[in-house]
Structure 1
């Protein structure tokens, strides 16, 4: 039996795949901003795009805009990511692929900032100096 690429590979672009969600298992690489230890654990993951307005309120962008305007900011949920970074490499990614992707991401954040959410209809980008910009 001849195996075709379509039998086991998904050739959709990342954004098209994300709309349908990502589900699977991988070794998650984790580190907190104050930790020197990087952990690795086999995890099942399910990432789903949401358009729910309540979800925006948990994003960093929404929280930081409220804070900058002197408004109350709700506590981050106990099971939510707070100051941890989780990297979920795809099954086809090698260690060098992960490094290459992280370097591209670092360059993009240094150059343009990091998309951190929405506040009302504005897209919020945080620059590395901590400033917020609505785009």
Structure 2
């Protein structure tokens, strides 16, 4: 799947996998998410039925997405998050008809900005 991403996104792809798999009780799986995302790397947690997050290796737009509940988002401290991270969270709230937050992560730095949300989700559900 790494072959599908280009330029700096390869570094972001590698960093995403190593950092998320580095969290406790997380494994990877390859999952199909239809015509929108095709094949993805799904990060599965022992504490969740849905993936903790998925990595979408689109050639021009490497993305990370996570199914998030309204309860989780409401308790999340968003003040310190960058604007693009907060914008991604908004996709999982009404009026949007999905519970998936989505972020483009073309660089390792962009992934690092999203990582606190993924870590918080893991802690929220393991408690």
Q: TM-score, normalised by structure 2?
A: 0.22
Question: Is the helix fraction higher in 1 or 2?
Answer: 2
> Which one has more relative contact order, counting CA pairs under 8 Å at least 6 apart?
2
Q: Greater CA radius of gyration, 1 or 2?
A: 1
